[in-house]
Chains A and B, each alone.
Chain A
Amino acid sequence: MKRSPKDLDGSHRLLTRRTLLLGGMQLGFVGALGMRMRFLQVDQADQFRLLAEENRINIRLIAPSRGEIFDRNGLIIAQNSPSYRIVLVPEDAGDVEQVIANLSRLITIDDEDLERARAEMRRSPPFLPITLADQISWKDISKVAVNAPALPGITPEVGLTRVYPLQDDFAHVVGYVGPVSDYDLSRIEDPEPILRIPRFQIGKVGFEAKREASLRGKAGAKRVEVNAMGRVMRELDRREGESGADTQLTLDAELQNYVQARLGRESAAAVIMDVENGDLRAICSSPSFDPNLFVRGISVADYRALTEDPFRPLANKTVQGTYPPGSTFKMVTALAGLENGLISPEETTWCPGHLEVSGRRFHCWKRAGHGHVNLLDSLKGSCDVYYYDLAIKVGIDRISEMANKLGLGVRHDLPMSAVAAGLAPNRDWKSRVHGQEWLVGDTVNASIGQGFMLASPLQLALMTARIASGRSVTPRLVKSIDGVEEASGEGAPLEISDIHLRNVRKAMFAVSNDRRGTGYRSRIIAEGMRMAGKTGTSQVRNITAAERAAGVIRNQDLPWERRDHALFVCFAPFDKPKYAVSVVVEHGGGGSTAAAPIARDLMLQALYGGTPPLEAYPASDRQKIEAQQERLERERLKRRESSGSDQA
């Protein structure tokens, strides 16, 4: 088509005009782009810079090392030891299954662990390390290290784990730690992020659990740069955490070990307390268990063995177990009577072997009766009728009040699991809990520590310590935290007349040192070490009238769980009391035969700070004691060796 120059000129002008129009629009758009860039890069730069940093920087927690626990002499009770584990980085391994096969030729890997590791591998990116085996022995680790060239992607790693070198001795006191479980997390409101560190250990039971806050420490953190896949590119900086507070207990590991050995396989509990300041020197529940089992993850069989044992090794009988205190309670009734001016030490009561109270006959343990008894005789021979009579005069409320004053029926705040309050009942309590009126018969039962009355071995030791010192001492388990001494448990003087206390102590001295005292056979003859005590035998069954008529069945003829509990409390030296000891042997029979000999051995061990000389014992016992000392020495040596080899 032919075009005229005029047409050309016209369309050229139009083209130029439209070009300028379109160009203007383009320029406008470029301006808008520039504004947008300015907005993002200048106005909002800080915000986006922050987002970029959040993108690339990850905070990783560093687990703090847990505070260690020592005994009063600096012996270690709970420590952190290196633990070795084997870690696989799938990305570096190449053929993962081949590497695992090579590894299992060197060391044994649990099938369960392997399954878990494989599942983890499928879920996580290939550069994240996966634990194949935990708590590996040093020997296995060396094997893996030596064969490293055949095991690409495998690295031995070292971490820290809790170890209790003294094994059974402190299982009930210190408890144990374990990895945080889902249950733990669900129980804690707003759990600290540190708890989400894999395999982080927290206190589960006992002191470890109660003092978790001070033992745990503060997590450190490191800032790492990660890429979009989450792979760590480099570490930017790190802040070390604060390790937990080291704690020194008042306990004496040597003594504790002796007590545990002395209690042996008996189902028993013993407490040794310093009467001056309330320091617990030993607090043992028997039988015990090895807390290290729980740290590693206890096997089902081991756990079943522990829970099905009738002697209840997992229970902490010293603070958690409560028993009718039996005759060891008589000091309380006596002091209540003396303090309220209802009896004088010389006043006597006639004991015919029983007492008729509102139509019901209450028996004394001695069928023939004690005859005329005063305060001293009543404790020495443990006459029940004397206390039945006294209790009716005093009334339960005043007895209960005295019991509380001496530390019974009161919960003592100790950093241990399930510390029981026991029970020193009064009228109010019975109407509140049982909705029934308090009966005179209840008072009669309570007077000799039976009926509703319940006390833990700790409380019994405390009661004895308060009687011995005349002060309101409180039990103390923690000596110092990070070198800072804790408050002493010395306490204020008891509001009990000194003369009355002295009379009761004198009577307790007679129990152990008078030929006719119930604890005479377990006396100490070393001068300046003389002991004052009180036996107790508490019934766990009712003796029917028919049985009483036919003759009470002897303890050794009863099944174990129906036998009487044997109790003994004592303090020594009599002239200047240092230690109070309580021993409860569950279903052990009589207090004088089952508990008193143990209490004497413990007391002597504490007083001498080691094996006592045979001269401290009455001559008739020395041969037997010598054999026992040798046996215990052997057993303790063997135990120490086995724990030693475990550490290596």
Chain B
Amino acid sequence: MSYLEYHSKTTPTGLRKILYLNWPLALLLAAAAGVGFLMLYSVAGGSFSPWVEPQVKRFLLGMGVMIFVAMVPIWFWRNISVVAYLMALLLLVAVEFFGTIGMGAQRWIDLGPVRLQPSELMKITLVMILAAYYDWLPGKRTSRPLFVALPVLIIIVPTFLVLKQPDLGTSILLLAAGGGIMFLAGVHWAYFAAVISAAVGLVSAVFKSRGTDWQLLKDYQYRRIDTFLDPSQDPLGAGYHITQSKIALGSGGWSGRGFMQGTQSRLNFLPEKHTDFIFTTLAEEFGFVGGMTLLSIYVLIIVFCVATAVSTKDRFSSLVTLGIALNFFLFFAVNMSMVMGLAPVVGVPLPMVSYGGSAMLVLLAAFGIVQSANVHRPR
């Protein structure tokens, strides 16, 4: 039982719920998607096919899903979170055995008309189960070792499965989002300090050992790490993408080269220009102004989520909203760092903008839960 159920009488009911949706948030999501449509239209050379049309359909479907999820009381989502998490985990195990090979990694389960990416599903269910867990756990127990170990296990198992696919980007996102929720829930900062310093110590030990008698990794593994961290060492291989991406970004200048005038994307110098690298097309064609506009939309989305989270007294609502917002933040932060050459290239799409199968659907469903938290907030 949580705070919310005591006050459920004050929440809106029936179709009136629609009025209590966080409409500014929905509009911001639509705006981000709109930017996506525009860029997909551009990289297709001024055509609605092959990307804009399915993307629009997926967006409309996603908006429908979001509203549907928003209509369902938030405590329902809390109550099914354990089941949802276990199902997502089961699917992750299933792709290990029945998964289809796509993009060099086992990621999808083919369910007839829908191709399901369980790792996407896991992003939400992980947030849900952690939020539910800390909703259930009394505050004073939060930092007890046993009650810290349990959520760590909840996070580590799917992270490991996703890493095995192999999908480094998503597993980093899972780890970061999970850790973030634990931090928000109030786990003592000493745990984080310990983990971070241990990680830093390990990494520096690995690098320090290089070339000494007690070298921890093989030489080729170091070389692989080198190119991963600094792709410019391999300008024709791994470095090519990031170099071309930086050229596209930089050549955009203040106001960009104009809609559909980006030479880097139009002449195919950009890799994955409709998916992971779509931001570079935006920055090339609309420049600094265009890039900052999208960044502002993203920041506003997070601000609205945080505002929702802080204004509710229900712990699950707060945590699930913040967790989804954090996930969203990690999405675009990692993607943008990657295309700007600040981070190694890992396959993380730009949320709402990249052309992508289940990513947008799942994301909108997740925002459905945020909306549900907003709608079912006692007033």
Residues of chain A whose beta carbon lies under 8 Å from any beta carbon of chain B: 1-3, 7-8, 10-12, 14-16, 18-19, 22-23, 26-27, 29-30, 33-34, 36-38, 40-42, 44-45, 47-49, 51-53, 55-56, 225-229, 233
A567 to B92, CA, bound (A): 102
A-B contact pairs, 20 of them (CB 8 A): A2-B1, A7-B140, A10-B139, A15-B184, A15-B185, A15-B319, A16-B310, A22-B326, A33-B333, A33-B342, A34-B292, A36-B340, A37-B291, A40-B340, A41-B253, A41-B283, A45-B253, A48-B246, A51-B247, A52-B251
B112 at the interface (CB under 8 A from A): no
The answer on a CB contact under 8 Å between B183 and A45 is no
B306-341 with Cβ < 8 A to chain A: 306, 309-310, 313, 315, 318-319, 322, 326, 329, 333, 336-337, 340
Interfacial residues of chain B within 264-288, with CB under 8 A of chain A in the complex: 264, 267-269, 283, 287-288
B335 → chain A, closest Cβ, in Å?
Answer: 10
Closest chain-B Cβ to A49's Cβ sits at a distance in Å of 4
B333 touching A30 by the CB < 8 A rule? yes
A18-B184, A49-B251, A55-B247 in contact; A7/B333 too (CB < 8 A)? Answer: no
Name which residue of chain A comes closest to B253, CB basis. Answer: A45
Enumerate chain A residues within 8 angstroms of B73, measured Cβ to Cβ.
none
In the complex, A646→B348 CA distance in Å?
Answer: 69
**A contact face: mostly helix, strand, loop, or mixed:** helix
- Contact call A42/B254, Cβ cutoff below 8 A: yes
Chain B residues whose CB sits within 8 angstroms of the CB of A228 once the complex forms = 267-269
Known: A19-B306, A52-B248. Is A41-B267 also a contact (CB below 8 A)? no
Contact B315 A41 (CB under 8 A): no
Residue of B137, B252, B254, B337 most packed against chain A (CB within 10 A) = B252
Smallest CB–CB gap between B247 and chain A, Å? 5
Interchain CB contact under 8 A, A1 and B137 = yes
Q: Are A7 and B139 in contact (CB under 8 A)?
A: yes
A52 and B264 in contact, given A1-B138, A23-B306, A41-B253 (Cβ under 8 angstroms)? yes
With both chains docked as a complex, state the minimum distance between the C-beta of A111 and any C-beta of chain B, in angstroms.
37
Measured CA separation A12–B254 after assembly (Å) = 43
B142 / chain A contacts, CB cutoff of 8 Å: 11
Q: How far is the CA of A16 from the CA of B252 in the complex (A)?
A: 40
Q: What CA separation (Å) do A7 and B322 show in the bound complex?
A: 20
CB of A48 to closest CB in B, whole Å: 2
Point out the residues of chain A lying under 8 angstroms from B298, CB to CB.
30
How far apart sit A19 and B325, CA to CA, in the bound complex (Å)? 11
Specify which chain B residues have a CB less than 8 angstroms from the CB of A48 in the assembled complex: 246-247, 249-251
Closest to B3 in A: A8
Q: Which residues of A contact B138 (CB under 8 A)?
A: 1, 3, 7
A33 vs B295: C-alpha distance when bound (angstroms): 9
Residue in B244, B249, B322 whose CB lies within 8 Å of A40: B249
A contact residues around B12 at 8 Å (CB): none
**B342 contacts across to A, CB distance below 8 A:** 33, 36
Is B180 an interface residue, CB under 8 A from the partner?
yes
The answer to whether B268 and A11 touch across the interface, beta carbons within 8 angstroms, is: no
Q: Which residues of A contact B287 (CB under 8 A)?
A: 41
Query: B116 near A: Cβ within 8 Å?
Result: no
Residues in B lying within 8 Å of A, measured CB to CB: 1, 3, 136-140, 142, 180, 183-186, 244, 246-254, 263-264, 267-269, 283, 287-288, 291-292, 295, 298-299, 302, 306, 309-310, 313, 315, 318-319, 322, 326, 329, 333, 336-337, 340, 342
* CB closest residue in chain A, given B284: A52
The CA-CA distance from A227 to B137 in the complex, in Å, is 59
Task: Looking at the assembled complex, report how far the CB atom of A20 sits from the nearest CB atom of chain B, in whole angstroms.
Answer: 9
Q: With A8-B313, A228-B268, A229-B268 in contact, do A41 and B329 touch (Cβ < 8 Å)?
A: no
Contacts of A40 in B (CB 8 A): 246, 249-250, 340
**Residues of chain B lying within 8 A (CB to CB) of residue A7:** 138-140
Q: Whole-angstrom distance between the alpha carbons of A33 and B3 in the complex?
A: 39
Minimum C-beta distance from A303 to chain B (A): 44
Report the minimum CB–CB distance from B72 to chain A (whole Å). 24
Question: In the complex, what's the smallest C-beta–C-beta distance from A499 to chain B, in angstroms?
Answer: 83
Assess whether B251 is in contact with A51, with CB atoms less than 8 Å apart: yes
Q: Chain A contacts of B184 at CB under 8 A?
A: 15, 18-19, 22
A38 to chain B, nearest CB (A): 6
Interface centre among A12, A29, A47, A229 (most CB of B within 10 A): A12
Closest to A8 in B: B3
Chain B's closest residue to A16 (CB) is: B310
Which residues of the partner chain B approach A12 to less than 8 Å between Cβ atoms?
313, 315, 318
Q: How far is the CB of A210 from chain B (nearest CB, A)?
A: 44
Tell me if B250 and A41 are in contact (CB < 8 A): yes
Known: A26-B329, A41-B252, A41-B254. A227 touches B315 (CB 8 A): no
Chain B residues lying within 8 Å of A18, measured Cβ to Cβ, are: 183-186
Min CB–CB distance B140 → chain A (angstroms): 7
The chain A residue with its CB closest to the CB of B134 is A11
Chain B nearest Cβ from A226, distance in angstroms: 7
Nearest 10 A/B pairs, CB to CB: A48-B250, A11-B139, A52-B251, A227-B267, A45-B253, A228-B268, A41-B288, A14-B186, A49-B251, A48-B251
- When the two chains form their complex, are residues B267 and A233 in contact, meaning their CB atoms are under 8 A apart? yes
